[in-house]
Amino acid sequence: MDIGINFFKSIYNDDIIYHYTKASTAIDFILYNNQLRFNGARKSIDPIESRKAERATVYYDSEVDKHRSEQHYLNVNELHAFADDMEKQFNQICFCQNRMGEDFASENYISNFEGHEELFGFTKLRMWDQYADKYSGVCIAFSKEKILSLNQKKFEIIENDVKYLTFQELLSKKIGDIQGNHLENVGIEKYKKQLEKLLIESFFCKHIDYAGESEYRIGTFFDKNKCSFETIRDEFVFDRTMMLDVSDCVVAIFVSSFANDRQKNDLLQYAYKLNVEIIEMRWQHDSFKPWNLKEWHEFVDRIEHEKKREL
């Protein structure tokens, strides 16, 4: 059961973002609760992102041997704590995006999905492997505009595309040592504002090897007063996890053909409930085939119904 070209045209735009996950996570949490979980940036599996910075305070020229006041050292310690706390408290949710710039979705452009697969955020094989349970999971398409509109009053949202840099470029973007000379020149308040701007920029940088992910992030700083209520091992928890509301933000569900039948059926029910398409990614020896799971399910139901009538 092929998917019509109009569906692919409808999701080829800047608004659609994709989140890869396990089928069980999609079923039991994301689609059940209409929420996505924020995670600390330091929990990333990327060692450059998760590694705690080892900072010193450096001086140069005439400032090297200069006698400094106690207040200066208090300011230095405050800057170290400020940078460390921002990095520790930053939480994020990661998505993929479409590779825009083609005329694929134009009304006057006659196109097929075949030959344009790499334009879409749901076709990234490394993401299916790494985040979607080694090709057995799910990729959920969301509306970015709806998510941001729904959550802008709850969180101080920081969102942006990820920039992909070389190691040397990352070296200049990541915040290193505190500059004692600069502190003397501009004062602590201005230095903190500059640090904040640079740190936020650094939260959206990765090595160029990840460029194929076309990543987009929604972030915020941890605030226990904005955490969601949870029950964990029969204990009520109020201050551990922040959740992004995604109610009515799902655009489509993509499920691997390697998911089990129970998972596919559960996801199919969510697709009906949300009135969105559900596409099965049928892996083949040379590519994959997007399969309309709703139409296939309805076709099988009709066949079974006919067989029962004949008995």
pLDDT digits (tens, 9 = 90+) for 73-125: 999 999 999 999 999 999 999 999 999 988 887 777 777 888 999 999 999 99
pLDDT score, position 34: 97
pLDDT score, position 218: 98
Residues in CB range of 80: below 8 A, 6 or more apart: 55, 57, 178
Rounded to the nearest integer, the mean pLDDT of the chain is: 93
Residues in CB range of 123: below 8 A, 6 or more apart: 117, 288
Which helix or strand (DSSP H or E) is residue 75 part of? helix 70-89
Q: Which of 104-108, 265-269, 280-284 has the lowest mean pLDDT?
A: 104-108
Q: 213 near 127, Cβ under 8 Å?
A: yes
User: Rounded to whole angstroms, how far apart are CA atoms 10 and 31?
Assistant: 22
Q: 18 near 279, Cβ under 8 Å?
A: no
- Cite the DSSP H helix spans in 131-260: 144-151, 167-173, 180-186, 188-202
Q: How many CA atoms lie within 13 A of 43 on its CB side?
A: 10
Give percent of the chain with pLDDT exceeding 90: 75
Domain boundaries along the sequence of the chain: 5-310
Q: Which of 300, 248, 303 lies closest to 270, judged by CA? A: 248
Residue 292: pLDDT band by 50, 70, 90 thresholds? very high
Instruction: Say whether pLDDT at 264 is over 70.
Output: yes
User: Rounded to whole angstroms, how far apart are CA atoms 24 and 266?
Assistant: 10
Instruction: Say whether pLDDT at 178 is over 80.
Output: yes
Q: Give the pair of three-digit tokens for residue 51.
A: 């590694």
Residue 311: pLDDT band by 50, 70, 90 thresholds? low
Judge if pTM exceeds 0.85.
yes
